[in-house]
Structure 1
Amino acid sequence: MEGTDSNIQTMGKEELIKAVIAKHEQYIATYTAEFEQLAKTVDTRNSELESGVKKSTEADVSQKEIAEEKKNMYADAVIKELEALKESLGSVSQDDVSRNRKDIEKIIAEVKDFNSQKKDDTFEDKEKLYNAAADDIEGLDTDAGKAKEIRANLDNAFEACKVLYGILEDENAKKAQMKAAAEAAAQKSPAEAKSDAKRYEWLGRRILSHKDALEYWKGI
């Protein structure tokens, strides 16, 4: 009987702990949802949130620079290879050689346009230029190995371009969110803004408190 009583007590304790853990998890989820919503409008310039946002922005800038450098490096390699190929043709005026020279010049122009960064350029614009250059490289009258090497560098430039435009898209989305948040905050009265700020800070403290409690109960 003692063994049975002990099992019942143990099960009761486990169920109790599970219930407490579930309660804390529910509070964390509820408070976090409200906290994140308020974070869009509350003035958090003096909070730790500013530091996190700043670090995120700095990371985006760093990744953008790396992607742009990779794109430039591979695109420059393509152009140099094409120019060397063009130079190897010399000044022969035979029709097939002349045609090949013009094809190379066309690809160089496409790659330069692809690698330039105009303000209104979209990823779709870059993709069209990449596809055009890739198709033209395939049609070049040159050694298959050389064409493959040129195409590989172009592909690498395009992959870096995709990463770059992905970062730019994220940046634009963040700017739009910040603008919307600023507009929403501007529409609130000072009293409402102050109330939201207090609620925001309270939620932050409660979330941390429940996380500490959750960690404790999970460790039992």
Structure 2
Amino acid sequence: MTQDQPHTSPEIVETFFTRASGDYAFSRWGRPIAPVCFGVEDATLQIVKGAIEACVAIAGHEIAETDPELGSNLMVFFFSEWDELRDVPRLGDMIPDLDAKVTTLKARDAHQYRAFRFDDDGAIKACFTFVRMSEAMQEVPADVIALSQAVQAMLLWSDTAFSQDSPLAVASEGTVVRPDVANLLRAAYDPILPVAARDASHALRLYARLIAAQ
């Protein structure tokens, strides 16, 4: 992680939401975020909630105690092994083909996975975040893990967006959201823009707002 802000162009903005398949897919939350966290102690719980609140504040979005439809709509799970997910009550109702997904994640030795649900307008209405605390992950500070997961739950980013580079940076005050990512979050939640888009021309509108904010 560094605090350098790379040059931004419409093409760079587009890559943040262009999936490995080549499809452009953008979506943001269309309702206040009501988070809940499982598998951590109270001290860590506060770190996770603080990270989510920080990202919501950057985006200019809203956070709530409960969601009227779902109760909690951002669920964050911490665990040691993927197999543990098979024992979580009703999780199979929320994650289709849970057994097959667990098998795939084990085969990839994955450390994280997110599943989104969308409303009729294409906006995010729920996000399920799973973090496997392997030995390697246990060496990472809790605030870094929490902030990274919070950023990635705020938008439907490309599945390759942060595969090489962290969304975080190191600043004088500690670990923060990378400046270019924070600016993109703000632009993405501009109320003038649609809550969801499947055409790459949307990236030009995001870029225009980034430039206007400078």
Q: Which has the higher helix share?
A: 1
TM-score clears 0.5: no
Indicate the TM-score class for this superposition, using the shorter chain for normalisation.
Answer: under 0.3
Q: Which has the higher strand share?
A: 2
Larger Rg: 1
TM-score (norm 1): 0.22
Q: Which of the pair has the greater relative contact order for Cα pairs under 8 Å at 6+ separation? A: 1
